[in-house]
Amino acid sequence: MKKAALAPALVSLACLLSTAAFARPPIGQDAAKVTPDMIQTGSDIPAAWKTPQGDVDYVKREVMIPMRDGVKLHTVIAIPKGARGLPMLLERTPYKASGFMPENSPHLADAVWSGNKDWADGSTILVWQDVRGKYGSEGDYVMTRPPMGPLNPSKTDDTTDAWDTIDWLVKNIKESNGKVGMIGSSYDGWTVAMALLHPHPALKVAAPESPMIDGWMGDDWYHYGALRQVNLDYFTEQTTAKGEGESVPRENYDDYTNFLKAGSAGAYAEAHGFKQLPWWNRFAAHPAYDAFWQLQALDKLLVAHPSSVPTMWLQGLWDQEDIYGAVHAWEALEKAGHGANNHLVMGPWWHSQINRDGWAIGPLKWPGDTTAQFRRQVLIPWFQHYLRGTPLPKPLPEAMIYNPVAQRWDSFSDWKPASEQRLTPLYLQADMALGFQAPAGGSDSYVSDPAKPVPFLPRPIPQKNDRWRTWLVQDQRFVVDRPDVLSYVTPVLTTAVTVQGAPIADLFARTTGTDGDFVVKLIDVYPGTYPADPAMGGYELPVSLDIFRGRYRKSFAEPSPIPANQVQEYRFRLPTVNYAFQPGHRIMVQIQSSLFPLYDRNPQTYVPNILFAKPSDYRKATVTIEHGADGRSAVLLPVVSGAAHGG
């Protein structure tokens, strides 16, 4: 058949097939008889599903609570079934209030997340609230919204939002007794501290856990001016979406490589779109401790607006994220004469571990679940005393700090703020020695190369890293042989050296550069063999460490170049400890100039804003640590004897 004749035939065949398809009988035409109940009409999803409540031991409510400016905040309330006259426990969060009840269980203790399980015994109404602009709440989200004032010209902040929320709860939750406690960790601890600036009369007790108090001095964003650049993921996770944003995408598995290839932290951030983020633009414009940071420092604000609410300032001894906030807030209030209603608690924990199990931190194992024991024996009874009037097993001391060596809680009736400590110098000595006697003289040098910064963990260091929680107890032998790390060590101890308080690094150093960082680590060196736990033989356990950016040696607010080749003093506080170096152990002090990629690299050339240092600014520098006539470098230790008793 010719093509011309074939085409009409194909068209006719297609029409025939099409007609046949439309004419086919419905599927199942030959099946058994169809009854009305078999016929599908409408959606299989009901207009309003209600879960039967017969076996459920609580009532869950989701409400929108109006604030004074009309913005409504999404709030989840879990009320034990049959509740009458119960107190309320409030947590305000940017981390999705509905996520605090992750399990679909008829039993409240099984429905809530780990941090609330011990509270879910039927004695407390649990309340979680999304802060403004996050998840189910209306309004604009601002990263740790500043208090009303020069940085916040509006008429609302997280202090007023807490006040309005508590006011609504006591007026509308009829099952309550009209009393509220507040709790929360990290950002949620910050919301507790904000509520304390002007507390509602119904707020009877509070526990900020690992709270963000001063993001420049030593919490999430900076430590004494050195940027914690791995936290840049938090910027995108929190501020790119109303719900959960994504972290910064990675080209390489090892973050050491990712940040090194990017150059400066600012180059890394802006290559990933951060200029779109208002928070980043404000943040990046203020690398020094200027009014932007000073006016948000909550330890100062809490002293200016002290409350009478009984408050437990709680954090971990090895808190890898917010090791600064709780202890500095407590110290500021104590020094200002407000110690009567403020208590300090420090456990053997990583960040927010108080809300999880506490059997261990890294290689350090405890004789029990320290977090569960503390929650059940101390924290909850203390809250219930103020919320329900139940008697306390014993009064909460001024300070309650875990002793990791004796593996017990120590109670203190007169714990001294750092400024009131008596300090004993532990001097750097010749031949990499360390001792309490004055040094004879000398110095030691190393070359700090920004192209080869000292890692804070053994490589590779992936973004999602289980070692992040416990990096502060990482064995430091992995850097001890690096030529850019100085390790000074005492002879084997013949008697215990007990340290209670905040060690102070006091370095006298010169550098060939015009800027530089100083990392100081106080380390417990275990004996070479350790029968109690053979894996700990020779372990170099960090007890306290921090970093200091040299440009701030004179003023945190007004940085200045370091005069090249001139000795300068760098004095800064290390995190608080309660530790006894044992006979048979040695004490080590390590000094280095980088802790990467946790902290951004110092170019070692003075530039106005290190966030935007150019590749040509990064230069090697020879750093010399003095321990003689030009300066007796030391770590000043709060050595004590008989200052505590078993708690």
State pLDDT tens for residues 385-437.
Answer: 999 999 998 999 999 999 999 999 999 999 989 999 999 999 999 999 999 99
| Top-tier CATH class for 421-641 | mainly beta
Nearest Cα to Cα of residue 329 among 294, 291, 303, 293: 303
Secondary structure class of 459 (helix, strand, coil)? coil
Per-residue confidence (pLDDT) for residue 8, from 0 to 100: 47
DSSP letter (8 states) at residue 591:
E
Q: Residue 202: CA atoms inside 13 Å, Cβ hemisphere, count?
A: 19
Q: Provide the residue ranges of all domains of the chain, joining segments of one domain with +.
A: 58-217+292-412, 223-291, 421-641
Residue carrying the six token digits 């507790």: 192
Q: Hey, which residues does 314 pair with through a beta bridge?
A: 209, 345
Q: Are 412 and 498 in contact (CB under 8 A)?
A: no
Q: In the block, which residue shows the tokens 């940027």?
A: 227
pLDDT at res. 9: 47
List pLDDT tens digits, range 314-335: 999 999 999 999 999 999 999 9
Question: What pLDDT shows up at residue 11?
Answer: 43
How many Cα atoms are found within 13 Å in the side-chain-facing hemisphere of 149? 11
If residue 60 lies in a helix (H) or strand (E), which one and from where to where?
A: strand 58-66
Q: Where are the alpha helices (DSSP H) in 313-398?
A: 325-335, 370-374, 380-388
- Measure the CA–CA gap between 453 and 547, rounded to whole angstroms: 14
Least Cα distance to 401 among 239, 252, 255, 578 occurs for 578
Q: Which two tokens stand for residue 569?
A: 């003093």
Q: What is the CA radius of gyration of the chain?
A: 30
Q: Please state which architecture CATH assigns to domain 223-291.
A: Orthogonal Bundle (1.10)
DSSP class of residue 431 equals G
Q: Which two tokens stand for residue 504?
A: 């102070």
Of 3.20.20.10, 3.40.50.1820, 3.40.50.970, 3.90.245.10, the CATH number of 58-217+292-412 is 3.40.50.1820
pLDDT beneath 50, residues of the chain: 1-22, 642-647
Q: In angstroms, rounded to a whole number, what is the distance separating the alpha carbons of residues 485 and 447? A: 9
pLDDT of residue 21: 47
Q: What pLDDT was estimated at residue 502?
A: 98
| Pairing outcome for strands 360-361 and 364-365 | antiparallel
Considering only CA atoms, which of 543, 162, 535 is closest in space to residue 348? 543
What is this structure's pTM?
0.93
547 touches 226 (CB < 8 A) = yes
**Long-range contacts (CB closer than 8 Å, 24 or more residues apart) made by 526-535:** 526/585, 527/492, 527/584, 527/585, 533/363, 533/365, 535/363
Query: Tokens for 337?
Result: 């004469």
Q: Contact 622/512 with Cβ under 8 angstroms?
A: yes
